[in-house]
Chain A
Amino acid sequence: MTIYSLYIYDRHCTCVYYHDWHRTRRPKLAVEGGILPAVSQAVVALAAETNSSTLTIYSSPRNTLTSASGVVVAVNEMNAQSAVSPLLQAPPSPVGISSTGLAFDEEVKLVYGVVLSLRNMIKKLSGRDEQFLNYRTSAYKLHLFETLSGYKFVMLSDPGTESLRFVLRQIYVGPFLEYVVRNPLVNMDSKEYGIDNEYFRTSVDRMIRGSSFFP
């Protein structure tokens, strides 16, 4: 039973947070301006990983950018770099299959679209009281937890896992409340920024890794 990734969407239909644990395919970096800053450093850090591992193959003066992986501005420059060399898309780490060809921002929009469409269809079919819980494919299971305030917590796990809505609710009541809602420095309802911050990320990580669902 493993957990693959977590997406959080706000009520403006934008992805405000992304976190992954196991992914078979590395996400392609987002198109410039496609995602909001402060959604996930992973989109930038992944490129940094690939850079360091492929140093021998492809040395470039632009590798000095790895040190700037924490800065949002670097996303654009990383993009330019990865566009130049397709080698960087496939890191030699054990989970390194080349990406699905979908840029990260398109991916999050599609995930949101799936969730929204299923939810609306279910509401039309059976009325407001029925809730969309999760769906399963041969490769993964997608769990949804939605709050009345419009925040949607989406988690992908392996198909054998039972409902993770409880875990998502724990994330909402725990780290989200503590480090996002009660954090005055996090711009919550903005259409320009995500909610990624150090405390939130580490506490979500700790919570998921410590739970029984994680191997």
Chain B
Amino acid sequence: MATSSKQYLTRGEELWKGRSEKVNAELFALTYGALVVQLIQDYEDYAEVNKQLEKMGYNIGTRLIEDFLAKSNLGRCSDFREVGEVVAKVGFKSFLNISPSITHQAPPVPTSPTRPTSTAQANSAGSSFSLIFDENPLAEFVELPEDALEGGLWFSNVLCGVIRGALEMVQMQVSAEFISDVLRGDETTEMRVKLIKHLEEEVPIGDD
């Protein structure tokens, strides 16, 4: 079931257009900005703020995935590469109307002589993809002050949590983190999502 990336793009486009309740982008950006500012005032430690944003994103992600699965009606992805494609082209498009570009990285080559085939590689723990955001609706009007830059604040860290939460609900444990951010003066905003492992389905506790 090799759906081409173009089909994913059109699907994402359809889902975005099909959404009945949309929020004003400026209101969204300003509300998120106010949220981050409030967190900074409360915690006063940028690492902690990053953690809290990620946690909030996690809670959002665990529910967002239901919305996504219900509306998009997509089946299970065959490998982690496809997961990345779906996240970038359908997921972000249908919720935020942005299409980040994606680059895949295979897992690091082990020293063992018996190498698995490339398709198996794409699904094994350690494979990752990077999302590069040309536009970030969360950071529309944002400029980071000096101490935020020094403190290591990742402004859009909530997105990392969303991806982690959503993928965990479909049996994948991933780590998502920002590598660079234009708000911090880097050239691109890039998020790396790495597969840690596939989670096993739970079985009921046998109490007999």
A contact residues vs B (CB 8 Å cutoff): 11-14, 109, 112-113, 116, 128, 147-151, 172-173, 176-177, 181-182, 188-189
Contact = CB atoms under 8 A, between A and B. Distances in A.
Interface in B142-194: 169-171
B39 to A, nearest CB: 19
11 contacts: A13-B204, A14-B204, A128-B76, A147-B70, A148-B69, A148-B170, A173-B71, A181-B63, A182-B67, A188-B63, A189-B62
Interface of B: 62-63, 65-67, 69-71, 75-76, 169-171, 201-205
Contacts of B63: 181-182, 188
Given A172-B70, A189-B62, A149 B169 contact: yes
Contact of B70 (A11, A14, A173, A189): A173
Contacts of B169: 11, 149-150, 189
Given A13-B205, A181-B66, A188-B63, 17 more contacts: A11-B169, A11-B201, A13-B202, A13-B203, A13-B204, A14-B204, A116-B204, A147-B66, A147-B70, A148-B69, A148-B75, A148-B76, A150-B169, A176-B66, A176-B70, A181-B63, A189-B62
Contacts of B170: 148-149
A74 B157 CA distance: 44
B204 A112 contact: yes
A3 B75 CA distance: 28
